[in-house]
Structure 1
Amino acid sequence: MSETTSSKPMYEKIFDEVKRGIMTQAYKPGERVPSEKELAEAYSVSRITSKKALELLANERLIVRKPGRGSFVTDPELEFTEEEAPSAGGSREAPVKLLHQEEKTIGLVITDFGNSYGTGLIYGMEQAARDNDCFLVLRRTFGVPENEERSIQKLLGLGVDGLIVFPAQGEYFNAEVLKLVIDRFPLVLVDRHLKGVAAASISSDNLTAALKGTEYLFDLGHTSISFLCPPPADTTAVEDRIEGFIEAHAQRGIMVDKELWLSDLTSTLPNSFNDENIERDIGRLVSHLERHPSITALFAIEYNIALLAKTAVERLGLRIPEDISIICFDSPPTHLGGGYAFTHMRQNEEEMGRIAVENVLSIMNGCSVPNKVMLEARLIPGESTGPARQPKSL
């Protein structure tokens, strides 16, 4: 294939050359054009780049793309439905007037999901995908960066048109995410944003949510509040919740006592959730409460940590909420008769999922989307909070 000295992006160069081949009938109607893999190898580019060139050709109705079969030149005087596209041998059925755009596929890479958080996200994404006639493919990483990298590579290899990524826990973001950003591949991050990476993201307004939850405890008379979380490890969702907790104290003129915090609970992290680690964290919570009898409330950064805290409080023979109140982020619905109704900040998961799908589709269509979208979380009162009482000496 010929070289060009143009300063255009590589996908446009590939588009121009293949289009030229079609217009000069180097590729005749019904013939297959080079695949993403073949173009990537010929031009020494990533498959993301060659895929984008083929998408531009399809958008101009110069080719029709058939999953699993390839891309074929359309007849310039006739247009075909996806079902009636030319076969590899060039034969075709009777044409119709309209060429339907093939169904878009979005890959979802998520750490994991459960009743307390994640299931609502997927519900919202699936509904938005149905509403927009696209298909969602899910891969779980269980919070392991290597799994995340392999999952992205696998989905790209399957030819997804866009990606939604729930990044793995911690400061690490893999090279595949960076490549996607550099190549301007349609990408939306969910639940958190990555520092220094110009990718669209959708999450809760974690700072404001933590601030509101802390103010709720203040209004109940609590001032000795223990903040419970895993190591922040540069994870923006955790950092924002810590900042909201601190900001609430500043606004009320209440001093933050970090001696009351327990910020290295690890049993709820991916790949650490086992009986031994859970028992160790419960023991640490028991010891922490014994060392700090002034504590009247616990702010758990997530539901599973709230469950650990509840167990620790009960082991000490204390009552919830009479002796100690507990508030957390997210809690499974209890209207079906299961679970404990914690007071919690409820994230708008389904709306978050819907916006993630709609934003990645907008990026596919060449439209700009906000770099960062943050949704409000609602305070849901439950059984676990009440007025502050004088702390007991243990």
Structure 2
Amino acid sequence: MEHPLYKQIQNDIRGRIRSGELQAGALVPSEKELAQQYGVSQITSKNALNGLVEEGLLVRFRGKGTFVREHGSQEGPEHGADTKRTIAIILPTMKTKIDQQLLDGLERYCADRGYDLLFRITRESPEEESTAIEQFRKRGVDGFIIFPVEQESYNTAILRLSLDQVPLVLVDRFLKEIKTYSVSSDNYGGVREAVSGLLAAGHTRIAYLSPEITNSVTDDRAKGFEAAFMEQGLPIDKTLWCMLDLETIGEGRGQQEIERFLRVRSDVTAVFAVNAELARYAYNAIREIWQGTGSAPLLAAFDDPDLEGIPYVHQRLDDVCRIAVDLLSEQLSGTYEPRREVVPVQWTDTMIPRP
């Protein structure tokens, strides 16, 4: 089985160092030169060099280039090749398949780079999130990958990490006011494409189910819904929006509220839920309200609700995890160029019946 391209580049550089072709202190080909030599993107060649810097084999000097580390040199990253990095992964829940896939992918890509992991579930508690961050900082972890809890503002502990330039990657969220590293799916584009598909099939009375807008994800998904209507020159009826507060969802009253909402809107022909949890609540509510009538609205969702026949927006979670670890590795190697990475999604184009 062939190694990934960045690993092939790394293996070749290691071989050139072992053979003496690249001696201690020698300048290593640049990202651009390696990209041209191997016929890869500069992102791939950059990842290759970053990995070797992390190992302690190479050292990078800003404005000068990347060099073979001299034996005993103290320049460059703080950790040598024999010291493992320790990464803290903080997730809000493990309730859904999405959560499980994220943890699996992050663990796998961290293991590929030889990182030790510390892991904490905050159970959607801002206090637990703050405590976890502070405890991990005291333990001296080298970097953080955080999927923040849903709340109206970002935790001050996260803001402090960013301001202190501690290696940090936010997953599925981004800070609008402060530059930091983040990776998320294309929440705006995914909802826009899905709702455009529903509109194209003749569904104009579409109920929208979402947690209250408290972060970049719920904001982007709501804007994607609005964009689909505006592009068709259609009015946006906010009376068809069911925005559930976080307390209602946390107390397990989500399905009850969705059922109450839909009972007085029996003319809707489609329901779009912004996550799998709300989609399952809506599915049960629709069965309760419209059972046996033959006029139940179509249900669609962001993320696979694990329900047969439900069209949904598919996230490329493996890519999200890979990019998150790549962004963290970049920071651990001494580079700090904060940015937001957005991963494309796919709207499952199953046949959508017309109303």
Interval containing the TM-score (normalised by the shorter chain): 0.7 to 0.9
Tell me, yes or no, if the aligned pair for 2:179 and 2:338 is still in contact at 8 Å.
Answer: no
Tell me, yes or no, if the aligned pair for 1:107 and 1:162 is still in contact at 8 Å.
Answer: yes
Tell me, yes or no, if the aligned pair for 2:105 and 2:321 is still in contact at 8 Å.
Answer: yes
Normalising by structure 2, report the TM-score.
Answer: 0.73
Label 1:136 to 1:341 Cα distance change in 2 as closer, same or farther (>3 A): farther
Asked if 1:226 is matched to 2:202, the reply is no
Label 1:356 to 1:377 Cα distance change in 2 as closer, same or farther (>3 A): same
| Amino acid in the other structure paired with 1:127 | R
**Alpha-carbon shift at residue 300 of structure 1 (Å):** 0.4
Query: Partner residue of 1:359?
Result: 327
**Alpha-carbon shift at residue 245 of structure 1 (Å):** 0.2
Asked if 1:257 is matched to 2:230, the reply is no
Q: Equivalents in 2 of 1:317, 1:250: separation in Å?
A: 30
Normalising by structure 1, report the TM-score.
Answer: 0.66
Q: Equivalents in 1 of 2:176, 2:192: separation in Å?
A: 22
| Amino acid in the other structure paired with 1:254 | L
Q: Equivalents in 1 of 2:257, 2:130: separation in Å?
A: 34
C-alpha deviations, 1:62-91, integer Å up to 9, x for none?
A: xxxxxxxxxxxxxxx9869xxxxxxxxxxx
Asked if 1:311 is matched to 2:284, the reply is yes
**Alpha-carbon shift at residue 257 of structure 1 (Å):** 0.6
Tell me, yes or no, if the aligned pair for 1:268 and 1:304 is still in contact at 8 Å.
Answer: no
From 151, 160, 170, the counterpart of 1:189: 170
Unaligned runs of 5+ in 2: 1-54, 59-69, 74-79
Tell me, yes or no, if the aligned pair for 2:255 and 2:278 is still in contact at 8 Å.
Answer: no
Unaligned runs of 5+ in 1: 1-57, 62-76, 81-98, 390-394
Label 1:370 to 1:197 Cα distance change in 2 as closer, same or farther (>3 A): closer
Query: Partner residue of 1:40?
Result: none
Q: Equivalents in 1 of 2:293, 2:139: separation in Å?
A: 51
**Alpha-carbon shift at residue 155 of structure 1 (Å):** 1.2
Label 1:267 to 1:256 Cα distance change in 2 as closer, same or farther (>3 A): same
Label 1:284 to 1:173 Cα distance change in 2 as closer, same or farther (>3 A): closer
From 282, 292, 299, the counterpart of 1:326: 299
Query: Partner residue of 1:165?
Result: 146
Query: Partner residue of 1:130?
Result: 111
| Paired residues for 1:188-207 under 5 Å | 188-207=169-188
Secondary structure class of the residue paired with 1:237: helix
Tell me, yes or no, if the aligned pair for 1:268 and 1:305 is still in contact at 8 Å.
Answer: no
Query: Is the radius of gyration larger for structure 1 or structure 2?
Result: 1
Q: Equivalents in 2 of 1:102, 1:321: separation in Å?
A: 64
Label 1:228 to 1:320 Cα distance change in 2 as closer, same or farther (>3 A): farther
CA RMSD for the aligned pairs? Answer: 2.8
**Alpha-carbon shift at residue 340 of structure 1 (Å):** 3.8
**Alpha-carbon shift at residue 321 of structure 1 (Å):** 8.6
Secondary structure class of the residue paired with 1:109: strand
**Alpha-carbon shift at residue 101 of structure 1 (Å):** 3.4
| Amino acid in the other structure paired with 2:354 | A
Tell me, yes or no, if the aligned pair for 2:303 and 2:314 is still in contact at 8 Å.
Answer: yes
C-alpha deviations, 1:298-353, integer Å up to 9, x for none?
A: 01011111111111111113469953101111125x5xxxx545211111112111
Q: Equivalents in 2 of 1:268, 1:137: separation in Å?
A: 31
Secondary structure class of the residue paired with 1:118: helix
Secondary structure class of the residue paired with 1:125: helix
Tell me, yes or no, if the aligned pair for 1:232 and 1:238 is still in contact at 8 Å.
Answer: yes
Asked if 1:347 is matched to 2:311, the reply is no
Secondary structure class of the residue paired with 1:247: helix
From 120, 123, 132, the counterpart of 1:139: 120
Tell me, yes or no, if the aligned pair for 1:104 and 1:134 is still in contact at 8 Å.
Answer: yes
4+ aligned runs moved over 6 Å, structure 1: 58-61
**Alpha-carbon shift at residue 142 of structure 1 (Å):** 1.1
Tell me, yes or no, if the aligned pair for 1:118 and 1:349 is still in contact at 8 Å.
Answer: no
Larger CA deviation: 177-186 vs 317-326: 317-326
From 386, 389, 392, the counterpart of 2:352: 386
Tell me, yes or no, if the aligned pair for 1:322 and 1:386 is still in contact at 8 Å.
Answer: no
Q: Equivalents in 1 of 2:230, 2:104: separation in Å?
A: 38
Secondary structure class of the residue paired with 2:151: coil
From 264, 268, 276, the counterpart of 1:295: 268
From 340, 345, 355, the counterpart of 1:372: 340
Label 1:282 to 1:114 Cα distance change in 2 as closer, same or farther (>3 A): closer
Q: Equivalents in 2 of 1:148, 1:309: separation in Å?
A: 30
C-alpha deviations, 1:166-201, integer Å up to 9, x for none?
A: 111122222221221222111111101123122111
Tell me, yes or no, if the aligned pair for 2:273 and 2:302 is still in contact at 8 Å.
Answer: yes
Secondary structure class of the residue paired with 2:242: coil
Query: Partner residue of 1:17?
Result: none
| Amino acid in the other structure paired with 2:257 | R
Label 1:264 to 1:100 Cα distance change in 2 as closer, same or farther (>3 A): closer
Tell me, yes or no, if the aligned pair for 1:192 and 1:202 is still in contact at 8 Å.
Answer: yes
Q: Equivalents in 2 of 1:257, 1:190: separation in Å?
A: 31
More helix by percentage: 2
| Amino acid in the other structure paired with 2:241 | W
C-alpha deviations, 1:177-235, integer Å up to 9, x for none?
A: 122122211111110112312211100111101101101111221010011111112x1
Tell me, yes or no, if the aligned pair for 1:122 and 1:350 is still in contact at 8 Å.
Answer: no
Query: Partner residue of 1:6?
Result: none
Label 1:312 to 1:117 Cα distance change in 2 as closer, same or farther (>3 A): same
Q: Equivalents in 1 of 2:226, 2:294: separation in Å?
A: 23
Q: Equivalents in 1 of 2:212, 2:276: separation in Å?
A: 16
| Amino acid in the other structure paired with 2:240 | L
Query: Partner residue of 2:101?
Result: 120
